Amino acid sequence: MAYIAHTDAERRRMLATIGVPSIADLLAVVPSSVRLSRPLDVPAAAPEWEVQGQLARLASRNQHTQDFVSFLGAGAYDHFIPAAIAHITRRSEFATAYTPYQPEVSQGTLQAIFEFQTAIARLVGLPLANASLYDGATAAAEATLLATGETGHKKVFVSEAVHPHTRMVIDTYLSGLFGKSTVIKTPGGVTDAEVAGGSMGNKPACLVVSQPNVFGQIEDIATLAKSTHDHGALLIVIADPIALGLLEAPGKQGADMVVGEGQSLGLYQSLGGPYLGFFAARQELVRRLPGRLVGLSADSRGRRAYVMTLQTREQHIRRERATSNICTNQGLCALAATVYLSLVGKTGLQKAARLCVQKAHYAAGQLAGLTGFKLRYTGPFFKEFVLDVPATPSVLIRKLAAAGILPGVDLGRLSGSWRGGLLIAVTEKRTKSEIDRFVEALRPYEARAAISRAITDRIDNDPHPTLSGVGSGL
């Protein structure tokens, strides 16, 4: 089903123009050892309607969270997306917005970026934000590089409760410079400020924590900020923007930089991207801010004019002064987030966050009431929580998926030391009936848990247990 735009006659004219008899002669400079000596393995040409039908059949094999009741999270969430977002972002003037290399010509693009920066800065409680980055993980990694440059120190500390994938991206960034980051263990599910402070030692550059963290638990940002600053380091907070509808802004609690993933702000899960990284910082760090920063000025006639105020890549400034290799921003995704925040407003964001809290806690209470199921952590949480289950999580996930429910993420897939738990996310979209259906789908596992517990109790109470004796006793 190959589509070749040029006709045979057109190809002959092009070859004649450059003075080459044939395509084979044109490619003669390519060694025969690396040239394909047989026809491409593609089907024969077909009418367009047949191709469309085949593509539709292939596409129908894909399934997404609209086909299931989804409790998936761990960084990508099924939040409500107002229909107006697609209506606005699909306008032709936005459809090809990549990187304005002559930015002042496109005042509309710059205004959208400026509004995005303003919204993020207000949301996280810091005075400035950049034009966006590729995703939340790269934003976190860029923040660690900024911290090492600002402090002149090389030691980067990351809470174990930061998503392991984000920690991997941070280590990838650091590996060619200072080696890997140091992980602060979190056996209780949250980052202990005293443990973190005792681990940092001399000349740390920064501490990276998440709010909420990968387990959904709420971190004590103010205490962590004080401990980090006492050691002369910077505190980087990876924040869930929806959670900030209720939680106090990290910037107001002492965070030096707040970064995060903006997928929750009006972007579909889309098989993992494209997503949106946001990055905000204290005013003193503005000259080291990665990416782009749009500012508001006035033209020669005194009219409002948006300008590209700062670009820290070596493409734009002297290489020795460059602080980042980031050259662009996720313009269309940032626009979607700006439209989302404008549509829902302050009260709408608060309502979405409040619904997440209420529904997640209802689900946690119902699930923890099942025999053999238990919440791994008891601290405050936002929309995610870890449920220890009596079955192998991967098996349970497959069983419930067949019933139309995506029960969560197998925590053991993120880290071997976290085996046995389901990471469950409950957004504002989940209804009480969907949560109750989820609980009922897990009830068959109660009986298995009860049998397992009875066997364990019998063995513990019998000084000379035998398998036959235990079996007959049940």
State whether 176 and 242 are in the same domain. Answer: yes
* 117-121, Cβ contacts within 8 angstroms, sequence gap of 24 or more: 117/293, 117/294, 119/337, 119/338, 119/341, 119/342, 120/241, 120/278, 120/280, 121/280
Question: In degrees rounded to 5, what are phi and psi of residue 27?
Answer: -95, 10
pLDDT-wise least confident of 81-85, 271-275, 424-428: 271-275
Which pLDDT belongs to residue 245?
A: 97
pLDDT tens for residues 170-194? 999 999 888 899 999 999 999 999 9
Residue 133 is predicted with a pLDDT of 92
Q: Are residues 145 and 253 in the same domain?
A: yes
Q: Please tell me the predicted confidence (pLDDT) of residue 467.
A: 40
pLDDT at 41: 87
Q: What mean pLDDT, rounded, does the chain reach?
A: 89
pLDDT above 90 (res 91): no
- Let me know if residue 87 belongs to a domain: yes
**Across 73-77, 134-138, 304-308, 334-338, least confident range:** 304-308
- Residue 442 maps to a domain: no
Task: Say if residue 93 is in the same domain as residue 188.
Answer: yes
| pLDDT for res 98 | 55
In a domain, 394, yes or no: no
Q: Which is more confident, 468 or 284?
A: 284
> Does residue 446 fall inside a structural domain?
no
Mean of pLDDT values over 46-57: 93
Query: Domain residues for 54?
Result: 8-59
What percent of the chain has a predicted confidence (pLDDT) above 70? 88
How confident is the model over 219-244, as pLDDT tens digits? 999 999 999 999 999 999 999 999 99
Choose the weakest-confidence range: 61-65, 292-296, 424-428, 436-440.
Answer: 61-65
Share of the chain above pLDDT 90, in %: 72
109, 200: one domain? yes
Q: What is the pLDDT of residues 365-411, one digit of tens each?
A: 999 999 999 999 999 999 999 999 999 999 999 999 999 999 999 99
Give the CATH number, domain containing residue 226: 3.40.640.10
Query: Do 52 and 162 belong together in one domain?
Result: no
pLDDT at 6: 87
Mean pLDDT score, 257-262: 98
pLDDT, tens digit (0-9, with 9 covering 90-100), for 128-171: 999 999 999 999 999 999 999 999 999 999 999 999 999 999 99
**What's the pLDDT at 65?**
86
89-95, long-range: CB within 8 Å, 24+ apart, which pairs? Answer: 89/332, 89/335, 89/336, 89/339, 94/331, 94/332, 94/335, 95/332
Query: What whole-number distance in Å separates Cα of residue 324 and Cα of residue 377?
Result: 38
pLDDT number for residue 450: 57
Q: Is residue 466 part of a domain?
A: no
Burial of 239 (0-12, 13-18, 19+ CB in 10 A): buried
pLDDT band (50, 70, 90) for residue 466: very low
DSSP string, 115-138: HHHHHHHHHHT-SEE-S-BS-HHH
Same-domain pairing of 189 and 292: yes
- 359 inside domain: no
- Whether residues 197 and 334 share a domain: the answer is yes
The verdict on residue 46 lying in a domain is yes
Question: Where is pLDDT greater, at 96 or 268?
Answer: 268
What residue type is assigned to position 436 of the chain? D
Query: Quick one: 99 and 39 in the same domain?
Result: no
In a domain, 29, yes or no: yes
pLDDT band at 468 (very low <50, low <70, confident <90, very high): very low
Contact 323, 288 (CB under 8 A): yes
Residue 104 and residue 38 share a domain: no
Give me the number of domains the chain comprises. 2
Between 234 and 3, the more confident residue is 234
Q: Confidence class of residue 108 from pLDDT cuts 50, 70 and 90?
A: confident
Contacts of 21 (CB under 8 A, 6+ apart): 15
| pTM: predicted TM-score of the whole model, two decimal places | 0.85
pLDDT attached to residue 42: 84
CA angle 223, 242, 93 (to 5 degrees): 130
Task: Identify the band that residue 311 occupies on the pLDDT scale cut at 50, 70 and 90.
Answer: confident
